A and B are shown apart, each in its own frame.
Chain A
């Protein structure tokens, strides 16, 4: 088999065919700013620079996914709170400086932002500068469309939010419903603007991890809003969704399986689980119709030498390569923004050496 371009490789995987080798999604976000000599904060505060950094990093390393925009604390700014961009020492992504909801009354008064041309809420305005560049280069528009549970956990003061799980379930549902309406508006707007086949919503978050929430809590407070948003995605005619159940979500897997089953959706999910979920478990749960991403332990790229990183990637490739509907090599969460470029090369080298399909 001859060498494919990145676009051909990804297309083959999405069509259920074998590419020349396992594609690589390094989930490199803040990292890319190193490549173009810009501060990390620019990744999040300036859509054009964010695109530039990711585009250059992608070309330099030769990996197979195109620029995207998102972060775990999405929601608070859009719903009336405040965030800070990561320009300070040790910072790695935007963080909330003022939550929009600190009382039950705040939750009652919370307004769902609208998405209109020239008037996008919060970071969606920044992200759209990047999306326009993606559309221009015929790359998928990957916008944040969840998770409702994680966004709500930062729209509200997080401790208060977690207490509401048991003490104020009605208020919590009201909050979750409003935040999911924001994501519905985002889905509708971007599907309409760029066309449903050109967008790839990105859904996921850490706050529903089982280090925080029980599977029962997930069923009651996360699952219904996931169903609501994924039905919206299906209704809009969108065909691919990037899913990132962050950190340990092993006990939530039965619900993720149910989302597709209950809507009878024909599209494709691309699953990027945390390092806590064995690749084989992902294949068993989703491999029949969905693309599985790898989940190499992200901090290892920062703390371990090149050779060990190659070995970790090799192991991950061997576990996932023959998943029936395709496999993409990836870390289990964002590539550490401060890791050195040889560690990203470790992913590429492993894919070349151990990921070929002939």
Chain B
């Protein structure tokens, strides 16, 4: 392993361990070693968070541990981001309006998806929880969103996502829609006309990237 790979792996491990100080230090070292900040984010921070998500799915890590990892990841991002070349952030990916469907206050999952999209380079516009269809659509128009990401954890709130999709179409907005949350499935996403579905936060990024390439 080259010293560059070693450093990135250390960064990824520090994210997994949730060690904020170490993450900030390693991010500084990466810059000093001349590593491209975009690469450091993707192969250090992003990779670390992907492993964290995987460990969550396997019940090896739980939400408090993930939140610690997220704080550590942001400590590294704070160091690395100011050094990104302007067109690297956001342009490759896009702007995403993210929120929880109307009537629903479950926002832990949404926040994890938000973090993963953030570290993957998306510009994030967080509209919060219990968000009306109008607010989603207005916000998407206002920021010229490429993507709208919606989370719903209840059978009562998931039915409200379709209103957002219809609203976007009515306004002829370009934003593609991805949906997720415990009661959502690919077939439900298809039924309401969403462009993508992800079962977890890693998939959310994968699906978003695919839609952006298309």
Seen from chain A, the residues whose Cβ lies within 8 Å of a Cβ on chain B are 73, 86, 88-92, 95-96, 158-159, 162-163, 165-167, 210-214, 217, 251, 298-299, 302-303, 336-338
Contact = CB atoms under 8 A, between A and B. Distances in A.
B155 to A, nearest CB: 4
A213 B132 contact: no
Contacts of B65: 166, 214
Nearest to A247: B182
Contacts of A73: 105
Interface string B50-72: 00000000010011110110010
Nearest to A213: B62
Given A167-B68, A210-B62, A95 B130 contact: yes
Contacts of A167: 68
B63 A89 contact: no
B18 to A, nearest CB: 7
Contact of B63 (A92, A162, A298, A299): A162
Nearest to B183: A299
Given A89-B132, A213-B62, A338 B103 contact: no
Contacts of B18: 166
Contacts of A336: 155-156
Contacts of A90: 101-104, 130, 156-157, 159-160
Interface string B74-106: 000000000000000000000000000111110
A302 B63 contact: no
- In the complex, the 4 A-B pairs of residues with the closest C-beta atoms, listed nearest first: A90-B103, A165-B64, A90-B102, A214-B62
Contacts of A251: 59
B166 interface: no
Nearest to B156: A92
Interface of B: 18, 59, 62-65, 67-68, 71, 101-105, 107-108, 111, 130, 132, 154-157, 159-160, 183
29 contacts: A73-B105, A88-B102, A89-B102, A90-B102, A90-B156, A90-B159, A91-B103, A91-B156, A92-B103, A92-B154, A92-B156, A95-B130, A159-B111, A162-B63, A163-B67, A163-B68, A166-B65, A166-B67, A166-B68, A210-B62, A211-B63, A213-B62, A213-B63, A214-B62, A214-B64, A214-B65, A298-B155, A336-B155, A337-B156
Contact of B155 (A162, A214, A302): A302
Contacts, number: 73
A158 B17 CA distance: 22
A134 B132 CA distance: 38
Contacts of B63: 162, 211-213
B21 to A, nearest CB: 13
Contacts of A302: 155
B155 A163 contact: no
Contact of B62 (A86, A163, A212): A212
Contacts of B130: 88, 90-91, 95
Nearest to B64: A165
Contacts of A213: 62-64
Nearest to B104: A90
A279 B141 CA distance: 49
B67 A217 contact: no
Given A158-B108, A214-B62, A89 B160 contact: yes
Contacts of A338: 155-156
A163 B157 contact: no
A89 B103 contact: yes
B129 to A, nearest CB: 8
Contacts of A211: 63
Contacts of A303: 155
Contacts of B107: 158
